[in-house]
Amino acid sequence: MNTILNNLREKLNNIFAKFDIDESVQISISKITDFDIQINNLVKYKNHKSIEEIKNHLLKELDKSEYFSSVEFSDKLFINLKFNLINLAKNIDNSKKDFAVNKREKLILDYGGPNIGKPLHVGHLRSLNIGRSLYNMNKFIGNEVKSDIHLGDWGMPIAQIITYIEKNNLDIQTLKVSDLESIYPLSSKEYLNDEKFQEKAKEINKKLNTDDDETISKWKIIKDVSLVEIKKNLSELGHSFDYWFGESDVNSLIPDMLENLIEEDKVEYDESALVSKENIEPKVLITKSDGSYLYITTDLATIIYREKHIPFDKIFYIVDSRQSLHFRQLFSSAKYFEFNNLNFEHVGFGTLNDENGNPFKTREGGTKPLIELFSETYKYIYKINQNLEDKTIKQLTNTVLTYSDLLTNRKTNYKFDLKKFTNISGKTGIYIQYAQVRAKNLFQIANNNNSLELSDEIGNIESELLSKIFLFGYYLERSIEMSEPHHLADYLYELSNLFNIFYEDEKILNIEDEKIKNSKLYITKLFLETCHNVMFCLGVEPVNEM
Ligand code: ARG
């Protein structure tokens, strides 16, 4: 489809240019039943002096295209186009080659971002899902993508944990992850309420930053214990990362960075805090008055670190929308400080709430570990499908946790409704898995080794399904351009829905006419491959049985 779209854009852009029309072709989905896509640019040129000539040029070009079987200009000058399905099927199978970018971009995706000492919690789900989806989509079109989890593994929270352990004479050598999980909230509470504790924690934080051996070795134990658990959870949830760098890796770059900024007169002291001299409101604080580092200090150093270790054209930060001020400040500071690479995007998202719309909590009132949501979903699916293999149920669990999340526009909040998200006839991950299992089974039983071919006569439902299949590139493009997986998630539902109608329309295996049967199997195959590619782009693994 990008082959189709790019081709179309290129040709029509040339015609616009010829008439001095400063437009790039805007393509959208046609709302008219008989047409597939629509071009809207011409609408505002209705009174152009050469409009008839422009129309003629466009028409001539479109008539030449083997990808379209009919072209129509509406009264308002919308251009409606209908796919030539037979020709498209000859040229396009929705595999990677149909979408490959001309120029590969180097992208870093910063997502996940768990903090050491705490379990992965429900708040991490959207970053993980959206991040993985952007990763896979970009990989699919041939970009060079690297994921970096950016661990919160340094600074005051760690110092607080160490303080707590020392104060209570706990044996750090036998520290278990469950101990850590109860220590974390207790230590941050004590830090807030107990001045002496606070003093001590600040002291330990300084020791961390001056590489004090004993403190570093304690930090290392805490990080190792915590990371084993985080990695185990991530793997259960089907996530992996290229880089496991964290705040601790960039910390040593900060003193030099600050020194340079002072030297270049980009920052100044304000009551011993370092403040950026950039002329914006609010002013950007770079270090606190006691000299300690802030979230932005580390994120600035991370940009420098990445420029050195992971060459990139652009960094995407997939982080909760509540941090949008932080990222605006980060990006504009990086620009003001004249760091080299200035292509950044904050991909923000809304909150995931429980089924009543309240923040997810454990029974004890803490933040809910993500793995608990996984287990609850697993149990729910298992209860309905006791005959399925454990592996399948795990895949379905992750499908539900991923698909329902990506289906929601990332900017909005949503409620996690297990009953709704597992409904086999609803707009759910279970529904899309079921459709592709049907297609897979059909193939297995047909056991057809002949080369499958599309027949010249295509029925209505076949046409509709094929049209949808060839729109994959349109939705892929949209999802990538706007960093919004929901366009593809939605598309996958519509695709699966049309396949189900096609499947139920006639028992394919009973069709006697080999040509028709083969044609239907051909469409099934195209559906299955497309469906699997979309699933890959969303980070959903197809199951083998249901
Ligand atoms: N650890 C951070 C948090 O818990 C998220 C990190 C996001 N990435 C970044 N480069 N700031 O809020």
- Distance CA(315)–CA(346), nearest Å, equals 9
Partners of 79 in beta bridges: 39, 73
Strand pairing class (68-73; 79-83): antiparallel
Per-residue pLDDT of the chain (546 residues; tens, 9 = 90+): 578 888 889 889 999 998 888 888 999 999 888 899 999 999 989 888 899 999 999 999 998 889 999 999 999 999 999 999 999 999 999 999 999 998 999 999 999 999 999 999 999 999 999 999 999 999 999 999 999 999 999 999 999 999 999 999 999 999 999 999 889 999 999 999 999 999 999 999 989 988 899 999 999 999 999 999 999 999 999 999 999 999 999 999 999 999 999 999 999 999 999 999 999 999 999 999 988 899 999 999 999 999 999 999 999 999 999 999 999 999 999 999 999 878 999 999 999 999 999 988 877 777 899 999 999 999 999 999 999 999 999 999 999 999 999 999 999 999 999 999 999 999 999 999 999 999 999 988 887 767 788 998 899 999 999 999 999 999 999 999 999 999 999 999 999 999 999 999 999 999 999 999 999 999 999 999 999 999 999 999 999 999
449 is written with which tokens? 């080794």
- Distance CA(361)–CA(43), nearest Å, equals 52
- Mutate which of 323, 347, 349 for ligand 1? The one with the most ligand atoms within 8 Å of its CB, which is 323
88 is written with which tokens? 């498209």
Q: In this structure, which residue's CA is closest to atom 6 in ligand 1?
A: 113
- Distance CA(186)–CA(195), nearest Å, equals 15
Residue type, 59: L
- Mutate which of 150, 230, 245, 305 for ligand 1? The one with the most ligand atoms within 8 Å of its CB, which is 150
| CB atoms near residue 119 (< 10 Å) | 23
Instruction: Give the pLDDT of residue 449.
Output: 66
Nearest to 38 by CA among 1, 81, 87: 81
Instruction: Give the pLDDT of residue 70.
Output: 93
Q: Are 370 and 237 in contact (CB under 8 A)?
A: yes
**What is the atom index within ligand 1 of the atom nearest the CA of 320?**
12
**What is the atom index within ligand 1 of the atom nearest the CA of 330?**
11
Q: In this structure, which residue's CA is closest to atom 5 in ligand 1?
A: 113
- Distance CA(82)–CA(464), nearest Å, equals 11
Give the torsion sign (CA, 214, 220, 223, 226).
Answer: negative
- Distance CA(171)–CA(473), nearest Å, equals 57
Residue type, 125: L
Q: Name the DSSP class of 273.
A: E
Q: In this structure, which residue's CA is closest to atom 7 in ligand 1?
A: 113
- Distance CA(95)–CA(390), nearest Å, equals 31
Distance 247 CA to ligand 1 centre (A): 9
- In order of their start, the domains of the chain are 2-83 (3.30.1360.70), 385-410+417-538 (1.10.730.10)
Find the residues whose C-beta lies inside 6 A of ligand 1: 110, 113, 115, 150, 152, 299, 302, 317, 319
Instruction: Give the pLDDT of residue 254.
Output: 96
Partners of 82 in beta bridges: 70
- Distance CA(504)–CA(525), nearest Å, equals 16
Q: Are 147 and 111 in contact (CB under 8 A)?
A: yes
Q: In this structure, which residue's CA is closest to atom 11 in ligand 1?
A: 299
**What is the atom index within ligand 1 of the atom nearest the CA of 327?**
11
Nearest to 344 by CA among 311, 372, 316, 370: 316
Calculated CA dihedral for residues 238, 244, 247, 250, nearest 10 degrees:
-160
Instruction: Give the pLDDT of residue 342.
Output: 85
Q: In this structure, which residue's CA is closest to atom 3 in ligand 1?
A: 113
Task: Judge if the upstream peptide bond of residue 282 is cis by omega within 30 degrees of 0.
Answer: yes
